[in-house]
Every structure is written in structure tokens, then in C-alpha cells.
Amino acid sequence: MIPISFPNSAESSVPNPEIRTLASTILYTLSRKYNLRYNASEGIQGDKYYGAHLRTGADAKAANWTSFEKQTQNYLQACKHNQLRVIYLVCTSEPDIHRFTSLAHTYAPHDIHVATAAHLLALHPKDLTTYAALSSPQRSLVDYEVLLKSTVFGGTVESSFSWNVGAAETRGVGEWDVGAADGGFCL
């Protein structure tokens, strides 16, 4: 484990209220749907959910980044090891979301539930419409806010998005394990 300290520059760029509102709606729905008893007034909380950034876009494949299979194995292993039963998954590929979800249901002795922003916001049609109208970078900001609250986060080492979530989450946890499994890291 490497203790890490970064300047707190991320706090100077506060997302707009719409982004925060959508992230809050997702967290609320995640908590209610899976009975997580999440307390919005607290920071990172134990035993709530695993945040995973599954980076499998065409550009990642072309650059020979960590494969879908390896990322999936890393995230499901970490989720099981930490005894979490819910994964908040960030991924831009619908087929990969479905593959990941299918594998999660059979990975542990108990079902590991997989939730995405769109899946959770489907319960709030007006918010889903707002979310769908956002640009891809704006949707990433929503996901970023939700991932920051995850009990444990996993991402691929090649992704700057994953590194940014990891660096920001470290402020709440204090350390991370780079290379926890081939091609990934966990907090």
C-alpha cells in the first residue's frame, strides 16, 4: 500500500448544480433499491458499494489496454473480497455492461448486483431525460461524483479518469494499492 498525498486542487472546480443533483438522485436510488442505508451527509462509508470504471472503448482496445476479461476479474474479485454486493459500474459500452452484469450474477455465492446511472435514473424519467441530454464529458462528471462515494473503487491503470477518481478518493481513505491485480488498482 502506498500512502499518497495530492494537492487539493479538485475542490476548486465545483460541478454545476445539475451534475450534483443527478449524482445525488443516483446515490439516493442506489441506496433505496439495494437497501444500503447510505447517509448523504457522510463521506465514503464502509460496506455500501463497489465503484468500477470498466474502460473498454475502441480506443482502449486499439491501444492494448487491460482487457475486458482482466478488468472484470479484478473488479469482481475485489467486490467479493470486500464483501460488497452492489457494483456501480461506469462503462460506455452497452454490450460490455450486459456481459459484466451476467458474469457478476454468477461470480460469488450470492448475487452481485450491477447498477449504472441510466439503470438507476430509469426510475426517475425526468432525471433520465436530463442525463441523456448531457454531453459525454458531463455524464462522466455525474459518474465521477458517484464513484467518489464508493466504499471501494477499482479502475484500470491506463485510464486518467480512473486515476483521477482514485486520487480524489484517497483523500478520504488515505492509501491505495496500485497493481492490486494485473492492470488495475483498488482503493
pLDDT band of 5, cuts 50, 70, 90: very low
CATH number for 102: 3.40.50.11350
Q: What is the domain range of residue 107? A: 45-186
Least confident of 22-26, 96-100, 111-115, 164-168: 164-168
Q: DSSP alpha helices (H): ranges in 63-173?
A: 68-81, 94-107, 117-121, 125-133, 136-148, 160-173
**Res 174: pLDDT:** 47
Residue type, 146: V
CB 116 within 8 A of CB 97: yes
In-domain check, residue 13: no
Asked if residue 30 is part of any domain, the answer here is: no
This prediction has a pTM of 0.84
Smallest CA-to-CA distance from 113 within 126, 125, 100 is with: 100
Residue 25 in domain: no
Q: Is 5 a domain residue? A: no
Asked if 149 and 135 touch (Cβ cutoff 8 Å), the reply is no
Confidence band, pLDDT 50/70/90 cuts, at residue 183: low
Percent share of the chain, pLDDT over 90: 65
Whether 113 maps to a domain, the answer reads yes
Q: Would 91 be classed as within a structural domain? A: yes
Residue 14 resides in a domain:
no
**Phi and psi for 173 in degrees, rounded to 5?**
-105, -40
Domain count, the chain: 1
Q: Is residue 178 part of a domain?
A: yes
Give the separation between CA 144 and CA 60, rounded to whole angstroms: 19
| Structure confidence at residue 109 (pLDDT) | 78
